[in-house]
Amino acid sequence: MSIQRENPARHSEIVGRVVPVTRNIPDRVDDAVRAAHAAFRGWSGTPVDGRLAALRDVAEAIDDEREALAVLLAREIGKPLADCRGEVGFAVQHLRWVIEYAPAAYADRELDDARGRLLSIRKPYGVVVAVTPWNAPVILAMLKLAAALAAGNTVIVKPSPLGPLTVDRVVRLFQAHLPEAAVQVLHGHAGLVTALVTHRLVRKVAFTGGEDAGRAIAAAAADRLIPTVMELGGNDPAVFLSDAPFDDASLERLVMASFATAGQVCMAAKRLYVPRDRSGEFVEAYVAAAARVLVVGDPLADGVTMGPVISAATQSRAFDLALAADHTAAGVIDLGREGDGYDEQAGYFSPPLLVVDPVPDAALIREEQFAPVVPLVLYDTEEQVLAMANDDDLGLGASVWSADEERAFAFARRFEAGFAFVNTHNRTGMSLRAPFGGVKRSGWGREYAEEGLAEYVQTCVVHAPAAFRAGGVGLSPTAYPV
């Protein structure tokens, strides 16, 4: 039986199919991992310049197919076409960034001085398993593929069944320019992931996705004592300090920070905090900003900035959150406007909503929504809002908004979050040079920047202490290091 992807904007339309691994899973996984392990010997032994030359060819190939990949991505996950073009383009940009910085990041380091000779070698792990989500599948696969392959690892990608088609095509573009079995893609469900993670020749796992799946993968990897990179969920607060301007540009950024990909983004602005005495001013400006920039409809239609949610289950969850908010909040406000192709019967459309002043223990505040429903929470003091912002088991991102940058940075230092944005949120606040990842239950490890490159190598050392080199004076057999 194949995995078929329906178009979330028109769920009667089948976009494509992939063949999953459902029978003889252990044998199929064993074949794939052994092939990747065999390819690792040659790929890791290729000089870094040779590896990077192959990856340059991959970047060109993806760039050449950018439009076709963007259209396929829009149809399979419901993200607006302009965003999909941006995602594919950013994936290429990231690959080229890795190609530029990999030689320095993966170079050996050697010291030879009065204390001895010390050689630090950056060695790849071997076979890396990359488990990727559906909501930004191209860039989230690329974050793992680019660094892991540049370092000399081989990679097996397991995409989400909700977003397999574009990732499958991107992996095949890699395969066209790399040695056989250096990159593979396997489709399937939880049983396939377990078989991959528990295979004795898999040396590292990189995962982006939800907490339940992450917990299972982490447990399986821990049982084998192999390292993982985990980028899990977020319940990101966006805190407006008392001096924050509510200008058009800022609030337009905030609106899209919450509702890009219909709110189904781990680092979306999911909890908005505003001073109580400025709440009326904020709501007026926020609703006006949403009317300008938030157009809900068919992802392929011109001018649409928000498409449907991914599934009927997510549509139902958004409805339930809104229904509960009707009884526990001061008000629920419809945002934005309908564009071409908006049809809640034909597709999984869910209207974007702002829920004003819900009760403190509302699910909308306490849980990651992953849907286009956002709470506005009112506060009285900075200490109070900091406590509310940090009162969550998740700690992926957070943002602070202020007219005073120093004040904003001082506040941001106190967030319990892996990435704090200032006067923006979500992708407009990211940078290739800024490492990204979570704290608390939002995961561990980092992607992007030098830290992201370092996740895919191990530092191994060769050391000759000065005492035992030619002319050295020696040390007692019981001596400690000097």
Pick the catalytic residue from 6, 87, 266, 416.
266
Helices 25-45 and 190-197: crossing angle in degrees, nearest 10, is: 50
Catalytic annotation present for 231: yes
261 DSSP assignment:
G
Residue 460 is a catalytic residue? no
3-state SS, one letter per residue, for 89-134: HHHHHHHHHHHHHHHHHCCCEEEEECCEEEEEEEEECCEEEEECCC
* Of the candidates 28, 31, 4, the residue with the CA atom closest to the CA atom of residue 17: 4
| Beta carbons within 8 Å of 109's beta carbon, 6+ residues apart | 119, 120
Give one DSSP letter per residue of 383-429, joined into a string: HHHHHHHH-SSEESEEEEE-S-HHHHHHHHTT--SSEEEES--GGGG
Burial of 14 (0-12, 13-18, 19+ CB in 10 A): exposed
Which residues on neighbouring strands pair with residue 272, listed in sequence order? 238, 376
From 231, 252, 368, 416, active-site residue? 231
Distance CA 294, CA 306 (A): 7
Beta bridge partners of 296: 306, 338
- Write out the catalytic residue numbers: 231, 266
